[in-house]
Amino acid sequence: MIRTHALTKDFVVSRTRTVHAVRGISLDVEPGELVAVLGPNGAGKTTTLRMLTTLIPPTSGTAEVAGYDVVTHPDRVRAAIGYVGQGGAGGAAQLVRDELVTQGEIYGLGRRTARGRAGELLEALDLTEQADRKVESLSGGQKRRLDVAVGLVHQPSLLFLDEPSTGLDPHNRANLWEHILRMRSAAAEPMTIVLTTHYLDEADTFAERVIVVDHGQVIADDTADALKAELAGDLVTLRVAPQHAAELAAVAERAPGTRSVRVTTDRAEGTVEIRIADGPGATPGLLRAADAAGLPVSRVDVTRPTLDDVFLGLTGRSLRENAVDPSQADPSQADPVETSTDRTSDKKEVPA
Ligand SMILES: Nc1ncnc2c1ncn2[C@@H]1O[C@H](COP(=O)(O)OP(=O)(O)OP(=O)(O)O)[C@@H](O)[C@H]1O
């Protein structure tokens, strides 16, 4: 459904400054996949989507979408895909139903077909009651559902969603997802969905495949579970008396399967966080080793990793930090993407 090879995009900002937004992305997305593209601000997610949806041309490399090259056959690509951008669609003063009918007509549907399709989408996305209201009067969640309806009006087999739920509260995010998944399962043909998101839980819960992008490159690509198992490991947290923390960390570092150990102490307690392949399986051995070393553990927690832990493991940075947009960080840098985001994590991890 999507095949890219060494896709790049450079933005020449001035004579001395070029932003290398996308640096050689090669991807294959099969029909019917639901793929989340995850990465910090400025990683190149939107730029990649904009190339795949023919909104901007690549600087180099190739991209085939729905069987057509984005540069040589942009019209064919556009007819086959739906795109819900960050800004949203829709003329504010239009009525909701008219907006959908107009969009359908733009895609070449006859008026009668466009009205029929608008009715179906309004019902599927729970917007029938709002059909005769102005777009500008919709709530944030309703507006986003209308954006999705607009993206689907011509029944594309491939839908791109750029941060579909940003700005929505948790209830509206869940509601939007319920609708997206319902539309997807109701589609006659397998619908491929590619979305970008900042919400790690959203990628974790809904995406069948997660592509992690950083500095314009793909740094990981697998199911969320596989990424977590391969790249992060479970987190076993042991609490001890503060004077025992460093010694317990040394014991933990020697335990089989330990990937990294982090120690923090305050007056009351020492905390030893152990990143380890199989937390539940490793914990009894860790406790036996602590006991044998005369280091009584007062509390044990085992937590499964998140996608943020995956990103942290890959880059040493957290996706939760509100990363600075590299192109805005230091205008004097010739290559801001490369040079201004090398931020080290606050966490002090001791490699195992
Ligand atoms: N038109 C443009 N001109 C110059 N630089 C641009 C342009 N569009 C994007 N960039 C830069 O390219 C880099 C990648 O931007 P992009 O919007 O693709 O990132 P993103 O991963 O989608 O980020 P976010 O999560 O914040 O939306 C950033 O440094 C951005 O400032």
Low-confidence winner among 4-8, 174-178, 280-284, 342-346 (lowest mean pLDDT): 342-346
Least confident stretch, 42-46, 69-73, 138-142, 320-324: 320-324
| pLDDT value, residue 81 | 92
Q: Residue 88: its pLDDT value, please?
A: 62
Segment 68-121, tens digit of pLDDT: 999 999 999 998 998 888 766 556 678 899 989 998 888 888 889 999 989 988
Q: For each of the domains in the chain, give its residue range(s) and CATH number, in order of start.
A: 2-228 (3.40.50.300), 234-303 (3.30.70.100)
On the 0-12 / 13-18 / 19+ scale of CB atoms within 10 A, 280 is exposed
pLDDT digits (tens, 9 = 90+) for 1-51: 999 999 999 999 999 999 999 999 999 999 999 999 999 889 999 999 999
Helix crossing, 96-106 with 140-152: angle to 10°? 20
Rounded to two decimals, what is the model's pTM? 0.78
CB 192 within 8 A of CB 17: no
Cα 43 to averaged position of ligand 1 atoms, centre (Å): 7
Which of the four pLDDT bands, split at 50, 70 and 90, describes residue 201? confident
| Residue 350 pLDDT > 60 | no
Alpha carbon of 307 to those of 202, 316, 320, 330: distances in Å? 10, 13, 10, 29
How high is the ipTM of this complex? 0.97
Helix axes 170-186, 111-124, angle to 10 degrees: 130
Q: Which of 11, 56, 84, 196 to mutate to test the pocket of ligand 1 (most atoms within 8 A of CB)?
A: 11
**Chain segment 272-311, per-residue pLDDT in tens:** 999 898 889 999 999 999 999 999 999 999 998 888 888 8
- Cβ atoms of 211 and 218 closer than 8 Å: yes
- Does the beta carbon of 29 sit less than 6 angstroms from any atom of ligand 1? no
Percent of the chain with pLDDT over 70: 89
**Which residue's CA is the closest to the ligand 1 atom numbered 5?**
11
42 lines ligand 1 (CB under 6 A): yes
pLDDT digits (tens, 9 = 90+) for 256-276: 889 889 999 999 999 999 989
Residue 218 contacts residue 27 (beta carbons within 8 Å): yes
Name the residue with the closest Cα to ligand 1, atom 4: 11
- Measured in degrees and rounded to the nearest 5, phi and psi for residue 33 equal -75, 150
The band of 343, judged by pLDDT with boundaries at 50, 70 and 90, is: very low
Q: If you average pLDDT over residues 132-145, what whole number do you get? A: 87
Strand order in the sheet with 60-65: 17-29, 2-14, 60-65, 68-69
Residue pair 163/86 in contact (Cβ under 8 Å)? The answer is: yes
Cα–Cα distance list, 150 to 97, 166, 203 (Å)? 10, 18, 23
Minimal-distance CA residue to ligand 1 atom 30 = 42
- Among 47, 55, 319, name the best residue to mutate to test ligand 1's pocket (greatest count of ligand atoms within 8 A of Cβ): 47
Give CA–CA dist 154/310, Å, rounded: 37
d(CA 65, CA 77): 6
d(CA 184, CA 56): 27
Which DSSP helix (H) or strand (E) runs through 52? helix 45-52
pLDDT exceeds cutoff 70 at 351: no
